[in-house]
Structure 1
Amino acid sequence: MNARTEPAEAEPVTPARPPIVRELLLVAGLFLVYKFGRQLATGHTAEAYRNAHDVWHAERWLHLPGEGTVQSLLLHGDTLTRAANTYYATVHFPATLAFLVWLYLRRPAHYVWARRVLAAVTAAALALHLAFPLAPPRMLAATGLIDTARVYGPSVYGPPRTDHLSNQFAAMPSLHFGWALMVAIGLIVATRSRWRRLWLLHPLLTLLVIVGTANHYWLDAIVAGALLGVALTLIHAPRRTATTAGRGVALPAPAKAGDQVLAGAAR
């Protein structure tokens, strides 16, 4: 009589990295589409200022704290103000790129998930930029705020009428905040350090910077967070399976209809 044997459990397999050339072309293509798409929203100056007044009054109606409270803290010293302007100008893209590169090299499944989420949020933001052009608070006299980048430097923007490289009327939503929040969430999900929640300091600092420099309203960040929340609900993070060594291996989450609709264009 043969002894009954239990079927051997399959060893978890670390997902293969997507081809790097394809990923470079994909990320570069998405970035160019976003940059060119933002230009479609230019030329709506009057509407952007009307929307800015509406957003400003809506924040007061909602009893949100005034953006001037944060800016007054920055204006205590020129060095602090310039540091905030430098953070706004230099951290946004490099931090997001470093996040994606690290995930690609160390957490391939999480990289695919994060790239899909960022693509979905960016696409939704572009649609909102087109539908709701918005002048930032530094351009709205009613706010009483100053353009800290113009006064103290460094500045990434030129005069709106001659700045053909960026759309300064695309304040809503704030991708500075949305991307920073995704970087923090992605690193918290993909790592196991007990200190990993400290990554939330990145979006918190970004929020204070974008508001204090008068580049965004509170509502810009709130809407960005809401868009990210929807994307994270529809595009699930990879599951983790424990190995015999006690280390986690990320496995792709089961595909769902919502994932395929939002992420299909990012494949």
Structure 2
Amino acid sequence: MTARTEPAEAETEPPDATTRPALIRELLLVAGLFLVYKLGRQLATGHTGDAIHNAHRVWDLERTLHLPHENAVQSALLHGDTLVHIANTYYATVHFPATLAFLVWLYVKRPAHYIWARRVLAAVTTAALVLPFTFPLTPPRMLAGTGLEDTGRIFGPSVYGPPSSDHLSNQFAAMPSLHFGWALMVAVGLIVATRSRWRWLWLLHPLITLLVIVGTANHYWLDAIVAGAMLGIALAVIHPPRRTATTAGRDAGRRRVTPDTPVLVGAGR
């Protein structure tokens, strides 16, 4: 029986063997995704009457479905100026940077998962641009008779100006909520791409985002539900990369084998 030490080869393998896409091309693709998101919704303007009518329909449908009142979430935020200011800040500053940071991390650490996530986000964003043309929707903060306040305008910070002079966004494109859809994809992507026992905590991001978009009266519950459904369809069609035998072996090796563990060759012969 001969004893010798063999290195754990799985430890030397990169976390993701997929060739990383060209950086310049990816920068252009991601920048184009964000640009389409902004400009596409801006093009679907001029349907104010339809947007208000649809808002009443959504509000009534939510009551028929016995969904919680958006007022309950906003009332919780309005218990103190600090909490509502934090919610407005979260709405205004987290959406784009968090999604961009997510894509950058995947690009550097998990190239295969980056390609998958970028395709899913592109599919959801493209599909979401259709609804403002076919179903323009006034956000609850602009709908009379709901009892909801425009917390961004009252307490700040606000990302929107008066609709008549706001040439940077379409405020009548509340459905679906890409704030929620993108946040949910960030959580799903990080849960799929990592193996930490704490990775499920990433679900706090879409949960907080949901409470923020509803509590600040920027979206209805149904806006988030539709965004989640669209993401679910995209995930069903665009599958994440499979774990390779090397990756599985590396994970198992980290639990059971170290480079100094002796491997007995010929044992039992």
Q: Deviations over 1:77-135 (max 9, x none)?
A: 00000000000000000000000000000000000000000000000100112211100
| Bigger relative contact order, structure 1 or 2 (CA pairs below 8 A, ≥6 apart) | 2
- Which of 97, 118, 121 is the aligned partner of 1:115? 118
Q: Tell me by how many angstroms 1:53 deviates.
A: 0.3
Gaps of 5+ in 1: 1-10, 249-267
Q: Within the alignment, does 1:214 sit opposite 2:237 as a pair?
A: no
Cross-structure match for 1:27: 30
Cross-structure match for 2:166: 163
TM-score normalized by structure 2? 0.86
Name the CA distance, whole Å, in 2 between partners of 1:72 and 1:130: 32
Name the CA distance, whole Å, in 1 between partners of 2:248 and 2:127: 41
RMSD in angstroms over aligned alpha carbons?
1.4
Cross-structure match for 2:264: none
Q: Tell me by how many angstroms 1:245 deviates.
A: 8.4
Q: Deviations over 1:115-164 (max 9, x none)?
A: 00000000010011221110000000121100000000000000001000
Name the CA distance, whole Å, in 2 between partners of 1:86 and 1:220: 20
Q: Which has the larger radius of gyration?
A: 2
- What letter corresponds to residue 21 of structure 1 in structure 2? I
Name the CA distance, whole Å, in 2 between partners of 1:245 and 1:121: 30
Q: Within the alignment, does 1:173 sit opposite 2:176 as a pair?
A: yes
Aligned ranges 1:1-267 → 2 under 5 Å? 14-243=17-246, 246-247=249-250
Q: Tell me by how many angstroms 1:32 deviates.
A: 1.7
Gaps of 5+ in 2: 1-12, 252-269
Q: Secondary structure at the match of 1:239?
A: coil
- What letter corresponds to residue 152 of structure 1 in structure 2? F
Cross-structure match for 1:262: none
Q: Deviations over 1:193-251 (max 9, x none)?
A: 00100000000000000000000000000000000000000000000023288336xxx
- Percent identity between matched residues is 80
Structure 1 stretches of 4+ with a deviation exceeding 2 A read 242-248
Name the CA distance, whole Å, in 2 between partners of 1:245 and 1:157: 48
Q: Tell me by how many angstroms 1:34 deviates.
A: 2.5
Name the CA distance, whole Å, in 1 between partners of 2:25 and 2:247: 33
Name the CA distance, whole Å, in 2 between partners of 1:35 and 1:214: 20
Name the CA distance, whole Å, in 1 between partners of 2:219 and 2:28: 31
Name the CA distance, whole Å, in 2 between partners of 1:209 and 1:144: 17
- What letter corresponds to residue 113 of structure 2 in structure 1? H
